[in-house]
Chains A and B, each alone.
Chain A
Amino acid sequence: NAGVMQNPRHLVRRRGQEARLRCSPMKGHSHVYWYRQLPEEGLKFMVYLQKENIIDESGMPKERFSAEFPKEGPSILRIQQVVRGDSAAYFCASSRMGGQGNTIYFGEGSWLTVV
């Protein structure tokens, strides 16, 4: 693991509750990505952020999902009114200056279970 910190590692929410997943990128990294790993599926891109900016959110579901990467503090992936289908592993990744020619490192993942 290259130092991308995610918390919580495991989260259980009841249907209709909100889930907040946090990600602190590696030191010196200003580019953050979120990916989702659904059971029996591969990893899918959700969103790409730089400090205070969402650069590409083409993989985000249109409703209930949002992401931010504030000037200070970790990146947050927020899921409102969770449903059973949101149960998945959510991975954060970071890179120093974007993936073009740079390594993208992933965190340990946050496992969301909706009951």
Chain B
Amino acid sequence: AQKVTQAQTEISVVEKEDVTLDCVYETRDTTYYLFWYKQPPSGELVFLIRRNSFDEQNEISGRYSWNFQKSTSSFNFTITASQVVDSAVYFCALLNFGNEKLTFGTGTRLTIIP
């Protein structure tokens, strides 16, 4: 069975602060894929990143960075110098090998205070 835990239900930070969203996953598979999606107030789901289990390199994309640690089954997401436009619900998701069902965490609602 697979599971994704986003323990932080809601986070509020002041604009320009850095913030890290936690994601812990459980799976018995050795091959799997991890995703992050953003759901802004308008409601759509925006793809942010996909990571394969065999690639533990951290990734940086502008103000966004991801820290993948297989040893702790975590795939955390950091936003540096946060902006009001970053306010959204962020979902972490897991896709096991040979399976086409994404398992989502319950999401973290991030509010950036101007």
The chain A residues found within 8 Å of chain B, CB to CB, are: 1-2, 31, 33, 35, 41-45, 48, 55-56, 58-59, 89, 91, 93, 98-101, 103-109, 111
The total of Cβ contacts below 8 Å across the A-B interface reads 68
Q: 7 A-B contacts, Cβ less than 8 Å apart? A: A43-B91, A56-B101, A99-B33, A104-B35, A104-B95, A106-B37, A108-B43
What mask results when residues 38 to 50 of chain B are scored 1 for a CB within 8 Å of chain A, else 0?
A: 0000111111001
A101 touches B47 (CB 8 A): no
A89 touches B43 (CB 8 A): yes
A103 touches B47 (CB 8 A): yes
Q: A109 CA to B98 CA in the complex, in Å?
A: 26
Q: A56 CA to B95 CA in the complex, in Å?
A: 14
B104 touches A43 (CB 8 A): yes
Q: A35 CA to B45 CA in the complex, in Å?
A: 11
Residues on B with C-beta less than 8 A from A42 are 91, 104-107
A103-B45 contact, Cβ under 8 Å, with A45-B102, A55-B100: no
Q: A41 CA to B44 CA in the complex, in Å?
A: 16
A56 touches B100 (CB 8 A): yes
A2-B102 contact, Cβ under 8 Å, with A99-B33, A101-B33: no
A109-B100 contact, Cβ under 8 Å, with A101-B33, A104-B35: no
A100-B33 contact, Cβ under 8 Å, with A106-B45, A106-B47, A109-B43: yes
Given A1, A43, A44, A104, which contacts B46 in the complex, CB threshold below 8 Å? A1
In the complex, besides A89-B43, A106-B47, 10 extra interface pairs with C-beta distance below 8 angstroms are A1-B46, A33-B100, A43-B104, A55-B100, A56-B100, A56-B101, A91-B45, A99-B102, A104-B47, A107-B45
